[in-house]
C-alpha cells in the first residue's frame, strides 16, 4: 500500500483543463478569473463580498491592518491553531493574548475570553480571533454578543471550515465566514485544505467599507478609481489649464493614472490559482459529504476504546479538515503509524509555547487545557480521496498497536 498522509489534494482532469485555458488566455494575473472566483466563493459562503489574496496569512495580515491593529492594541486568540492566527497581530505591532480552549470542542473557550475581559478595564482589548479548528464551527453568535458588550471586532479564522456551519439560537444554519457575526473571515487554499489552489487565500465580509479597503491594501495601496486625494489634475494629465478644482470638474483622467493612497502590499492571487480554485469549488460539497462519511467510520471504530480519551466524533456542521483523536501514549502511536507508512500529524503545538512567544513571556502552565490536549492529540488521515481500504488499514493499525501494547 502507498504511503497514507494526513491530508492530500485531489487534482482532476477538469482542474488541469481550467488551468490550461487560463494559461492560454490574455491574463495570468489581475485578470477576470480573480473576480469570477471571488463572486463564486462569496456565493458559496453566503457573504456579500470576497477578496482573493496570495495566501491565508496574507488575508489575516490585511484584516488586522484594515481593523486598525497597531502598537498598543491587544487581541485575544486561541493557542491551538497555526501560528499565523496570532502572528498577524504581531506583524502590525499589536499584542497577542491567548485564552485557553474548551476541552470538549478544542475551540477558543468563550468563558475564558470573558474572564480576560472582565478583569481588565473596558478598552483594554480591541478584537478576538476565534478559529474554526479542525473544521468545527465556532459559535460566533455568542462571541458577537460578547464582542458587542466590550466594543470588540471579530476576525473568524475559517481556514479549516469552508462549508461548515453552526446552528444559531433561532435554529438557523450559519455558514462559516458568512459575515453575519464576524467583521471579517479568512480562508486558505493550501493543498491540504478543502479547496486546493496550490496557495491562496480569501477574506469574506458583509462590510463594503472593509471590502474596499482590503482591495486597495492587497495591491500596494494603489487604486485607479475614486481618485479623491490628488493634489492637482495637472500632475495627473501633464496639462495645467487652470485651478485644481476647475480641472477636476473638466478633465477625464488618462488611462495610465493611478494613486497610491496607503502603504499596501503585493498580496495578489494569480488567475492561474483562481482558475484552479474555481474548478475545485465546483465539487466542494461533494468533498464535504465524503469527509463526513470518513468521520463516521472513525467515530464508530474508536467509540468505547479504552485508549481513546476523546475524538472529533460526528458534529452537526463540522467540515472535517481534520479528524482528531486524543489517545494514551500518543508518541508511541505516532511512531508506530509512521513505521507502517501512515503519516498522521499533530495539530498543533500550542502557539504560546513556540520559542518566539516564550520570549514574549508565555510559558508552560499558562494554557493548561491546550497543553494537555497537545500531549494527547493526533490527526488521522482525512481527505475525500481516502479509500475505504486505506481508512480500514489506518484503523486496524491503530487497534493493532494498542492490542500489542496491552499484551507486552
**What domain range is 342 assigned to?**
284-407
| Side-chain-facing half-sphere of 313: CA atoms under 13 Å | 11
CATH at residue 388: 3.90.1150.10
b/e per residue, 370-402, with b = 16+ CB within 10 A?
bbebbebbbbbbbbbebeeebbebbbebbeebb
Q: What is the pLDDT of residues 238-270, one digit of tens each?
A: 655 444 444 445 456 777 888 899 999 999 999
pLDDT at residue 246, rounded to an integer: 45
| CA end-to-end distance (rounded Å), the chain | 27
Q: Is the pLDDT of residue 41 over 70?
A: yes
pLDDT at residue 6, rounded to an integer: 98
pLDDT at residue 329, rounded to an integer: 98
pLDDT at residue 224, rounded to an integer: 83
Q: What share of the chain is helix, strand, coil (3-state, %, to 5)?
A: 40, 15, 45
Distance CA 208, CA 220 (A): 19
| 107 and 204, same domain (yes or no) | yes
Residue closest to 395 by CA, chosen among 380, 408, 406, 375? 380
pLDDT at residue 241, rounded to an integer: 45
The reported pTM is 0.94
| 38 and 125, same domain (yes or no) | yes
Q: What is the pLDDT of residues 156-198, one digit of tens each?
A: 999 999 999 999 999 999 999 999 999 999 999 999 999 999 9
What grid cell was written down for 146? 460578547
Task: Calculate the CA 76 to chain-centre distance.
Answer: 16
CATH at residue 105: 3.40.640.10
| 146 and 52, same domain (yes or no) | yes
Q: Is the pLDDT of residue 235 over 60?
A: no
| 246 and 337, same domain (yes or no) | no
Q: Is the pLDDT of residue 151 over 80?
A: yes
Q: What is the pLDDT of residues 65-82, one digit of tens each?
A: 999 999 999 999 999 999
Q: What is the pLDDT of residues 305-337, one digit of tens each?
A: 999 999 999 999 999 999 999 999 999 999 999
Is-contact 58 34, C-beta < 8 A?
no
Is-contact 106 136, C-beta < 8 A?
yes
pLDDT at residue 243, rounded to an integer: 47
For all residues of the chain together, what is the average pLDDT? 94
pLDDT at residue 251, rounded to an integer: 53
Q: Is the pLDDT of residue 44 over 90?
A: yes
| 69 and 164, same domain (yes or no) | yes
Cα dihedral 246/248/252/255 (nearest 10): 140
Q: Is the pLDDT of residue 279 over 50?
A: yes
pLDDT at residue 238, rounded to an integer: 60
- Confidence band of 227 (pLDDT split at 50, 70, 90): low
| 169 and 255, same domain (yes or no) | no
Higher pLDDT pick, 261 / 400: 400
| 255 and 270, same domain (yes or no) | no
Is-contact 311 325, C-beta < 8 A?
yes
Is-contact 48 42, C-beta < 8 A?
yes
Cis peptide before 281 (omega within 30 of 0): no
Q: Is the pLDDT of residue 363 over 90?
A: yes
Q: Is the pLDDT of residue 233 over 90?
A: no
Q: What is the pLDDT of residues 9-30, one digit of tens each?
A: 999 999 999 999 999 999 999 9
b/e per residue, 111-128, with b = 16+ CB within 10 A?
ebbeebbeeeeeeebbbb
pLDDT at residue 327, rounded to an integer: 98
Residue 211: C-alpha distances to residues 50, 59, 143 (Å): 7, 12, 22
pLDDT at residue 253, rounded to an integer: 73
The dihedral region occupied by 304, where left means phi > 0, alpha psi between -120 and 50, and beta the remainder, is left
| 148 and 233, same domain (yes or no) | no
Going by C-beta distance under 8 Å and a sequence separation of 6 or more, which residues neighbour residue 204?
41, 42, 45, 47, 49, 50, 51, 177, 178, 179, 184, 185, 186, 187
| 63 and 188, same domain (yes or no) | yes
Residue 223: strand, helix, or coil: strand
- Residues facing 204 on adjacent strands: 50, 185
| 201 and 239, same domain (yes or no) | no
pLDDT at residue 242, rounded to an integer: 46
| 295 and 227, same domain (yes or no) | no
Cα dihedral 352/357/359/361 (nearest 10): -50
Distance CA 345, CA 12 (A): 25
Quickly count: other Cβ atoms within 10 Å of residue 57's Cβ. 22
pLDDT at residue 258, rounded to an integer: 87
Domain count, the chain: 3
| 167 and 232, same domain (yes or no) | no
Quickly count: other Cβ atoms within 10 Å of residue 92's Cβ. 17
Amino acid at each position: 500500500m502507498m504511503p497514507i498522509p494526513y491530508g492530500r489534494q485531489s487534482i482532476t482532469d477538469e482542474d488541469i483543463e481550467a488551468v490550461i485555458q487560463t494559461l492560454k488566455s490574455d491574463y495570468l494575473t489581475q485578470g477576470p478569473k480573480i473576480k469570477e472566483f471571488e463572486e463564486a466563493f462569496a456565493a458559496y459562503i453566503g457573504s456579500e463580498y470576497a477578496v482573493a489574496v496570495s495566501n491565508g496569512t496574507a488575508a489575516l495580515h490585511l484584516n488586522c491592518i484594515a481593523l486598525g491593529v497597531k502598537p498598543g492594541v491587544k487581541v485575544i486568540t486561541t493557542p491551538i491553531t497555526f501560528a499565523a492566527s496570532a502572528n498577524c497581530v504581531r506583524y502590525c505591532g499589536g499584542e497577542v493574548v491567548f485564552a485557553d480552549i474548551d476541552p470538549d470542542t478544542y475551540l477558543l473557550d468563550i468563558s475564558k475570553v470573558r474572564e480576560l475581559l472582565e478583569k481588565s478595564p473596558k478598552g483594554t482589548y480591541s478584537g478576538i480571533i476565534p478559529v474554526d479548528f479542525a473544521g468545527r464551527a465556532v459559535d460566533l453568535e455568542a462571541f458577537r454578543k460578547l464582542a458587542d458588550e466590550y466594543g470588540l471586532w471579530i476576525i473568524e479564522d475559517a481556514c479549516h471550515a469552508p462549508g461548515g456551519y453552526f446552528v444559531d439560537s433561532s435554529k438557523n444554519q450559519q455558514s462559516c465566514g458568512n459575515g453575519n457575526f464576524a467583521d471579517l473571515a479568512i480562508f486558505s487554499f493550501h493543498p491540504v485544505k478543502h479547496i486546493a489552489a496550490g496557495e491562496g487565500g480569501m477574506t469574506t465580509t458583509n462590510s463594503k467599507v472593509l471590502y474596499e479597503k482590503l482591495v486597495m491594501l492587497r495591491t500596494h495601496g494603489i487604486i485607479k478609481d475614486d481618485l479623491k486625494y490628488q493634489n492637482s489634475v495637472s500632475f495627473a494629465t501633464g496639462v495645467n489649464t487652470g485651478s485644481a478644482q476647475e480641472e477636476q470638474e473638466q478633465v477625464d483622467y488618462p488611462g495610465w493614472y493611478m494613486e497610491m493612497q496607503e502603504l499596501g502590499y503585493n498580496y495578489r492571487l494569480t488567475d492561474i490559482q483562481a482558475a484552479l480554485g474555481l474548478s475545485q469549488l465546483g465539487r466542494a460539497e461533494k468533498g464535504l459529504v465524503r469527509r463526513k462519511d470518513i468521520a463516521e467510520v472513525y467515530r464508530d471504530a474508536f467509540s468505547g476504546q479504552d485508549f481513546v480519551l476523546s475524538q472529533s466524533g460526528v458534529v452537526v456542521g463540522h467540515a472535517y479538515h481534520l479528524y482528531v483523536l486524543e489517545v494514551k501514549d500518543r508518541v508511541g502511536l505516532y511512531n508506530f503509524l509512521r513505521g507502517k507508512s501512515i503519516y498522521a500529524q499533530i495539530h498543533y503545538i500550542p502557539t504560546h509555547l513556540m520559542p518566539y512567544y516564550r520570549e514574549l513571556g508565555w510559558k508552560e502552565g499558562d494554557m493548561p487545557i491546550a497543553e494537555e490536549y497537545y500531549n494527547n492529540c493526533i490527526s488521522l488521515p482525512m481527505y475525500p480521496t481516502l479509500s475505504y481500504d486505506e481508512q480500514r488499514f489506518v484503523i486496524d493499525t491503530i487497534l493493532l498497536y494498542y492490542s500489542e501494547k496491552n499484551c507486552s
